[in-house]
Amino acid sequence: MTWITDAQNTWCPGCGNFAVQHALKDVFSGLVADEGRRPEEFVLVSGIGCHAKIADYLAVNSFYAIHGRTLPVATGIKLANPDLTAVACAGDGDAYAEGLGHLVFAAKRNTDITAIVHDNRVYGLTTGQYTPTSYTGFKGRSTPAGVKERPFNPVELALASGATFVARAYTRRLDHLREVLRRAILHQGFSFVEVLQICATYNNLTGTYHDQVYELEGHDTADLTAALARAREWDYSDDAPIALGVFYESERDHETWPAMGRVPDHRRQEVIRGVLEERR
């Protein structure tokens, strides 16, 4: 089984997307090997931006969608066929700008899908503008004087919105990234994984992340208050420690559609005749 297509990869050398692509490939093949999953059950949904090319590069079912809209697509897929495993890869522009409302509602709805945000904190494919998670003062091509706004804190946002699995990872901690993604996909309900990654061309924060990241230890993932406190340690602008790992995990009900074809045609005709009869 090959997990990579023969499409020519056009990411810049050093791009964080390579790590996400290979981690996901390893997680999918691992789930096939140890959990008896079928390769055909995975569906990758991507948005628009550099990250989204992952849909061309991974040899799995994919829905290469439009900017900001990965989560409603993934939700539709999962509702319609609960046997599929829907993983939505979005960029920070996708998830936090164009599609922010969908993120909040996906967390509220708790449909069993996994959202992975490739957060390089800059627009890559449109050549270097600020995003909702760019640090205050970031000088992008649309904000040459530096951004005055405060960045979103996506981890805090996901927790506040009711996501039942919330994690953060970093592309240069590959083993940890794999482990987090695997847990996210196995989680029943809406999983949110914020992946910090550098943009080698427009926002290379390797030094910042090298100095600031640490992996959570002894943190109670059932404690929402503790999760929020950890999430607030770093505000996406300052030089505080950046926690990586699972912040929060819980269970909550969610809807799926009943199996297809559960009402046979002849039965539907009877029901329709019944409705018409009532209306005489």
Binding stretches for another protein (CB under 8 A): 5, 7, 38, 40-41, 43, 45, 48, 53, 55-56, 59-66, 69, 72-81, 83-84, 101-102, 105, 257-258, 260, 262-263, 265, 267-269, 271-272, 275-280
* Cβ at position 178, least distance to another protein in Å: 22
CB of 47 to another protein, least distance (A): 10
Contact assessment for residue 133 and residue 156, using Cβ atoms and an 8 Å cutoff:
no
Non-local CB neighbours of 138 within 8 Å, separated by 6+ positions:
121, 122, 130, 146, 147, 203
- Given the complex with another protein, which of 15 and 246 has the nearer CB atom? 15
Q: Would you state the structure tokens that stand for residue 38, as one six-digit string?
A: 């079928």
- 145 or 271: CB nearest another protein: 271
User: What distance lies between CA 211 and its chain's CA centroid?
Assistant: 25
Our CB check for another protein shows the closer of 148 and 262 to be 262
Rounded to whole angstroms, the Cα distance separating 48 from 43 reads 16
Smallest distance from another protein to CB 4, Å: 12
Give the nearest distance from C-beta 240 to another protein in angstroms.
33
Rounded to a whole number of angstroms, the minimum distance from the CB of residue 39 to another protein is 8
Q: Which is nearer to another protein, 62 or 114 (CB)?
A: 62
- 20: helix, coil or strand? helix
Burial of 111 (0-12, 13-18, 19+ CB in 10 A): buried
